[in-house]
Amino acid sequence: MSRFRVPGMGRVDHEAPVKFRFDGVHYAGLAGDTVASALLSHGVHLMGRSFKYHRPRGPVSAGSDEPNALIGTRRSRARAEPNTRATMQEIYSGLRTVSQNKYPSLKFDVGAVNDAAYMLFSAGFYYKTFMWPRSFWDRVYEPVIRAAAGLGVAPDREDPDHYAGRYLHTDVLVVGAGPAGLAAARAAAEAGQRVVLVDEQAEAGGSLLSEPSVRIGGKPAWDWLAAELAALERLGVRVLPRTTAIGYYHQNFVALCQRLTDHLADPDPALPRERMWRVRAGQVVLAQGALEKPLVFDGNDRPGVMLAGAAQTYLNRFGVRVGDRVAVVTVHDSAWFAAFDLADAGSKVAAIVDLRPEVSENLRDGAKARGITVLTGHTVTGTSGRLRVTSVRVNRLKDGGGLGAPRQIDCDALLMCGGWTPSLHLFSHTKGSLRWDADGRTFLPDRTLEDCRIAGAGRGLWGIADALADGAAMGAAAAQAQPGTVPAVENDRTGGGIAMAELPTDRNASRARAFVDYQNDVTAKDLRLAVKEGMRSIEHVKRYTTNGMATDQGKMSNINGLMIAADALGKAPPQVGLTTFRPPYTPTTFGVFAGYHRGGHFEVTRKTPIDGWAEAQGAVFEPVGHWRRARYFPRGREGMDAAVARECAAVRNGVGLFDASTLGKIEVAGPDAVEFMNRVYTNPWTKLQPGRCRYGLLLGDDGFIRDDGVIGRLADDRFHVTTTTGGAARVLNMMEDYLQTEWPDLDVWLTSTTEHWAVLALNGPMTRDVLAPLVGGLDISAGAFPHMSVAACTVAGVPARLFRVSFTGEVGFEINVPARHGLAVWETLMDAGADHGITPYGTETMHVLRAEKGYIIVGQDTDGTVTPHDAGLGWAIGKAKPDFIGKRGLERPDLVAPGRKQLVGLLTEDRSRLEEGAQIVLDPKQPKPMKMVGHVTSSYASAAVGRPIAMALVEGGHDRMGETVYVPMPDRVIAAKITDTQFHDPAGDRLKL
Amino acid sequence: MLLIHCPCCDETLPEMEFAYAGEAHVARPADPSAVSDAEWEAFLFIRTNVKGPHFERWRHIHGCGRFFNAVRDTVSDRFLTTYPAGAPRPDLTTLMGDDA
């Protein structure tokens, strides 16, 4: 039996010891313990060091609001989690835990020098301190801050666990399984509703777990609880423990994170670690209760100082006394009951210090009966002790202000209670408004647009009887039923209290270490300093001091911070207002958000029919939009440059085969198809004959290039439109938008055919030698089937749409066959071309070949601010057309102004290859910052041209032909001559062969 | 995740099926060449950015594919109504009831 465990008390199993480790030391707890309760049972309060000052810290709470006792848990190198709350982590056999933020050890930590230097680390410390010299930022400040920043150590291996997700629809969702939530679930279920009841704790019961002396319906509280849970099961209520409602979104959409294995010694590997439930509820009942507030006084963070309610929970739920000699400081009745319970369990209660001048008779009687010293009208002005509180400094509050002489009271634990804050985080997620309750000095829920009710302590009700009655009423209301009878409650320990900013002191307040936000080490002094330095909005005070910005999201600190800031501002708290509550309610793993969407399922990978063949050939792939495309096909140990040079030569001198299946394809059909095309694309389409193709340019109505592609007219009323690989969905959406909303009178159908067709592009002077024998029903000779033709035929016996087009400058055919035949036709072509040295080539070679011809890639050589004229594509505009998308935009003053960036070619004087994205200047000797006149958009080594080539957008570039511009690089300046963009075969003779 | 009523399918479905498409009732001038630079700028770029009921366009992109209009309160994120593209602007007073 560990020293502080009370035999027979609590809901832990005293017959079931569980061994675990903390900082390498073996401890034995009991089944049902948390790490915090198990360590406390051995008298261990010191569980961590604070974030900024490295002050020793122990648990201050017994729940998910814990700011101090953050530990690392570890099953293996990969299965490790930092910043786990020791107050929430259940122990299991073999659990390994470590304290955080300490070096070399928890008890002796060198970082604690920060604490001695606390005057330096005041509010806005980072903003004030690391300002100068500028050069120190990269080399000194940032590395040091980064090394010191953060809590805990993240695992360095990929998370081997898996995470699940489920959707759930229910009539009523009840959040919180305390007395109010239990009653609400029962009332709704009895009215025939489907009900889900969730609670973040390991078991349902809420405050009943800490209040076993209450009798409900004539039964002890825990017997009533067991019977009630059995009744809920009979009624078909789905009860989910270890499940936190992390976010409340509009239209009663609630995200629940259910923890499935973190409490198990040997979890079934098939089990997900956590599951995200996405719940759509007809009605929501929030029964989350209230959170106890700390009091703000010097030394309120010493291990052993904790919330009175937490001490009551450790005793009644876990059978653990938090100390042998306990002092209490409070402004609320509830702390008295915690003191009474501890006294009854064998701890000495040294004193109850209450700031209120008077308390009720029954509290005084209760203290007297237990021989407890009562100091009403007193305050606490400090604590002592290095790694654990050893004494508390108490002063009398004089009538009319001022403090009496201090006295020292020895203790090994100090329980505090600053009153209770309704837990309204979820309510606020969906913009539920709050109102200030001047009597209770707290915020209460006001209005919400959701179908949502708050029951019990969440709306300021106190005591188990009230919570049960309110829960039953709210549950019935959610079910549109009449509330039933509520069981009688005996021994309900109700009470009230007042609220305080920081406690008064007789010492220099500017030296007080009175913490408001424990986790971020924010003191009352920091908050007052922030106001003094000009922060007026609570949102600014929060960010300047980081109050409430730690992983506990201000569950304990928000209201205390507000009270102090309001006092400093001389305003009432409601005039200052609260900061915004945002999801998630408690820290949530990335894994459960990602769920199934990880690895290969993170996003879709689109593959062409040729993908498997390319992979078997050892192709190197690159992502293009969601597609993966073969970038090049290395032979042997070839690197990319060598492979691309070989592939380029094959296309220029023989024949190459390219998988162009990813091209976007849209079929535009209908009686008004040609009119639609005239309005959408810049080019004129009316006179394009069926069987002919044209390069199409698509603008936005702002006049900028959006997309391009070759478009074939299949019939009077049918076009085969191709788009860029990445632009396909965008272009179809844009076409649908104009068709549906601007021109609904046009009779046109738009169909995406991207994945219907496999597109095999044969290019090179020997193309026809390979292809002609395989084509049926069509003469593809140069005379019969000239450049920019399209026709139906068969290729290798498969029905095909054959385009004679080229993105390489060589004779080219794009063979469109139904996707299911794509691979077979590809392999037939490879066989047929073997004697001609047919060479498969990838996107990198395609890029080089097109750049040699000056063909642009939308999105690489354009960036959403480039007009057709800028890109040298003014010839593609049908000037006689009355309108097309972008026609009016092209006349905008800025688009016709001189000095626009225009697409040009660049040839470097030293024949070096430029970097894409490099900036261009006219005069390299000008002082910095230099005037940048453009940038390199495309740059490649080119065997055909015999030197590297580049394209660039340069201000007034079309008028600078032959001029020299400069590209400053870190090590040198490269001079380059502006040229035309057509580097290879500018007359286009090779296209016509 | 919002629930959105598609006026074409006449079903209320999760937001995932829909794509937002900007402010509604911004009609492209019938003869763009006839409008001034200022009018064209207003058509292209100027939006109301209201706090409160906002007329906006959505597309049921993973459903029927139709564009439609909606009135959504940008403060509460509540849809007041949805209606087919091309239908007239609904009357806000009727929609908002007492809140107008």
Distance from CA of A245 to the nearest CA of B (A): 15
- Bond preceding residue A294 cis, omega within 30 of 0: no
Say whether pLDDT at A149 is over 80. no
pLDDT digits (tens, 9 = 90+) for A114-123: 777 666 666 6
Cα separation, B60 vs A871, in Å, equals 35
CA-based nearest residue in chain B for residue A449: B76
Beta carbons within 8 Å of A328's beta carbon, 6+ residues apart: A308, A335, A336, A338, A339, A349, A351, A352, A353, A414, A415, A416, A417
Query: What's the pLDDT tens digit per position in A94-108?
Result: 999 999 887 778 887
Q: In chain B, what residues touch A701 (CB-CB under 8 Å)?
A: 28, 32, 43-44
List, in sequence order, every beta strand (DSSP E) within A700-845.
705-715, 718-723, 749-752, 757-763, 775-776, 789-795, 798-804, 812-818, 839-841
Name which of B3, B28, B31 is nearest A251 (Cβ-Cβ).
B3
Residues of chain A neighbouring B77 (CB-CB closer than 8 A): 250, 431
Is the CB of residue A255 less than 8 Å from the CB of residue A277? yes
A252: nearest Cα among A163, A174, A194? A174
* DSSP structure string for A102-165: -SB-SSSBGGGHHHHTGGGS-TTHHHHHTTS-TTHIIIIIHHHHHHH-SSS---SS-----EEE
- CA of B63 vs chain A CAs: smallest distance (Å): 13
Question: In chain B, what residues touch A733 (CB-CB under 8 Å)?
Answer: 19, 59, 61
Which two tokens mark B33? 């060449």
Which chain A residues contact residue B21 at CB under 8 A? 737
Find, in chain A, the residue whose alpha carbon is nearest to that of B37.
Answer: A892
Query: Residue B86 and residue A741: Cβ atoms within 8 Å?
Result: yes
Give me the pLDDT at residue A226, please: 98
Q: Are strands A413-417 and A325-330 parallel, antiparallel or unpaired?
A: parallel
Question: Which of B27, B43, B67 is the closest to A740 by Cβ?
Answer: B67
Angle at which helices A464-478 and A179-190 pack, to 10 degrees? 30
Predicted confidence (pLDDT) at residue A791 exceeds the cutoff of 90: yes
Query: Is pLDDT of B83 > 90?
Result: yes
Structure confidence by residue, pLDDT tens digits, A754-788: 999 999 999 999 999 999 999 999 999 999 999 99
DSSP single-letter state for residue A242 = S
CB contact under 8 Å between B1 and A249, yes or no, is: yes
pTM of the model: 0.90
Name the interface residues of B facing A (CB cutoff 8 Å).
Answer: 1-3, 19, 21, 27-29, 31-33, 35, 37, 40-41, 43-44, 57, 59, 61, 65-67, 75-78, 85-86
DSSP A527-596: HHHHHHTT--SHHHHHHHHTTT-STTTTTTHHHHHHHHHHHHHTS-HHHH-PPPP-S-SS---HHHHHTT
B36 pLDDT tier (thresholds 50, 70, 90): very high
Look at residue A142 and tell me whether its pLDDT is greater than 80.
Answer: no
Is A31:A90 a contact under the CB 8 Å cutoff? no
Do the chains contact at A431 and B75, CB–CB below 8 Å? yes
Residues near A921 by beta carbon (within 8 Å), at least 6 away in sequence: A930, A931, A932, A933, A965, A966, A967, A968
Average pLDDT over residues B43-54: 96
Nearest to A276 by CA among A260, A295, A257: A257
The burial class, CB within 10 Å (0-12 / 13-18 / 19+), for A205 is buried
Query: A737 vs B67: CB contact, 8 Å cut-off?
Result: yes
Task: Give the residue on B whose Cα is nearest the Cα of A881.
Answer: B33
Residue A935 has φ and ψ, to the nearest 5°, of -150, 160
Point out the residue among B1, B59, B67 whose CB comes nearest to the CB of A253: B1
For helices A308-318 and A334-344, what crossing angle results, to 10°?
Answer: 40
Nearest to A471 by CA among A260, A845, A246, A184: A184
Q: How far apart are CA B1 and CA A976, in angstroms?
A: 54
| pLDDT for A127 | 64
- Inter-residue contact A91 to A19 (CB < 8 Å): no
Using CB atoms, which residue from B32, B57, B77 is nearest to A250? B77
Indicate the SS3 state at residue A598. Answer: coil
- The mean pLDDT value for A259-270 works out to 96
Task: Tell the burial category of A737 from Cβ atoms under 10 Å away from its Cβ (0-12, 13-18, 19+).
Answer: middle
Residues belonging to chain A with any Cβ–Cβ distance to chain B shorter than 8 Å = 249-251, 253, 278, 280, 431, 449, 701-702, 733, 736-737, 740-742, 744, 882-883, 887-889, 891-893
Do the bridges between strand A949-955 and strand A932-940 make them parallel or antiparallel, or are there none, so unpaired?
antiparallel
pLDDT in tens, A607-618: 999 999 999 999
> Which two tokens mark A111?
């970082």
CB contact under 8 A, B33 and A883: yes
Q: Which of A280, A740, A743 to mutate to test the interface with B (most CBs of B within 10 A)?
A: A740
Q: Count CB neighbours of B5 within 10 A.
A: 15
Could B78 and A889 be called an inter-chain contact, meaning their C-beta atoms sit closer than 8 Å? no
CA separation for the pair A559, A500 (Å, rounded): 10
- Report CB contact under 8 Å: B2, A742: no
C-alpha to C-alpha distance for A113 and A55, rounded to whole angstroms? 9
- Torsion angles phi and psi, residue A168, rounded to 5: -145, 130
In the sheet where B67-73 sits, what is the strand order?
Answer: B19-23, B53-59, B67-73, B78-84
Which of B26, B59, B62 to probe by mutation at the A interface, max A CB count within 10 Å?
B59
Question: At residue B100, does pLDDT exceed 50?
Answer: no
- A250·B78 Cβ contact <8 A: yes
Average pLDDT, chain A: 94
pLDDT in tens, A450-502: 999 999 999 999 999 999 999 999 999 999 999 888 999 999 999 999 998 89
Q: Which of B44, B66, B74, B79 to mutate to test the interface with A (most CBs of A within 10 A)?
A: B44
CB contact under 8 A, B77 and A882: no
The minimum CA-CA distance between A816 and chain B, rounded to whole Å, is 27
| Number of Cβ pairs < 8 A linking chain A and chain B | 61
pLDDT attached to residue A579:
83
pLDDT of A833 over the 70 cut? yes
Q: Give the up-direction half-sphere exposure of residue A190: CA atoms within 13 A in the CB hemisphere.
A: 19
Contact A944, A652 (CB under 8 A): yes
Contacts of B59 in chain A (CB under 8 A): 733, 736-737
Counting residues of chain A whose pLDDT is more than 90, the rounded percentage is 88
- Contact residues on chain A for B37, CB-CB shorter than 8 A: 891-893
Nearest chain B residue to A740, by CA: B67
* Minimal-distance CA residue of chain A relative to B35: A888
Distance (Å, whole) CA A516 – CA A513: 10
8 Å CB contact between A887 and B33: yes
Q: How far is B90 from chain A (nearest CA, A)?
A: 17
Cα–Cα distance, A515 to A519 (Å, whole number)? 9
pLDDT tens column, B7-31: 999 999 999 999 999 999 999 999 9
In the structure encoding, which two tokens stand for residue B35, read together?
A: 């409008």
pLDDT the model gives residue A52 = 84
Place of tokens 């601010």: A865
Helix or strand (DSSP H, E) at A258? strand A253-259
Judged by DSSP in three states, A378 sits in strand
Cβ pair A175, A283 in contact under 8 A: no
- One-letter amino acid at A162 equals H
Q: How far is the C-alpha of A762 from the C-alpha of A850, rounded, in Å? A: 14
What's residue A110's pLDDT?
73
Question: What's the token pair of residue A875?
Answer: 């010839």
Q: Quick check: helix, strand or coil at residue B80?
A: strand
Does the pLDDT at position A511 exceed 90? no
Q: Which of A83, A123, A135 is nearest to A534 (CA)?
A: A123
* Secondary structure (3-state) at A674: helix
Verify whether the Cβ–Cβ distance A733 to B28 is below 8 Å: no
Using alpha carbons, select from A445, A559, A570, A456 the residue that is nearest to residue A498. Answer: A559
Interchain CB distance below 8 Å, B67 and A736: yes
Task: Indicate the angle between helix axes A524-532 and A557-569, nearest 10 degrees.
Answer: 40
**Looking at the predicted complex, does its ipTM rise above 0.95?**
yes
Q: Quote the minimal CA–CA distance from B76 to chain A in Å.
A: 7
CB contact under 8 A, A736 and B65: yes
Q: What is the pLDDT of residue A126?
A: 62
Q: Tell me the pLDDT tens digit for each residue of A517-563.
A: 999 999 999 999 999 999 989 999 999 999 998 888 889 999 999 99
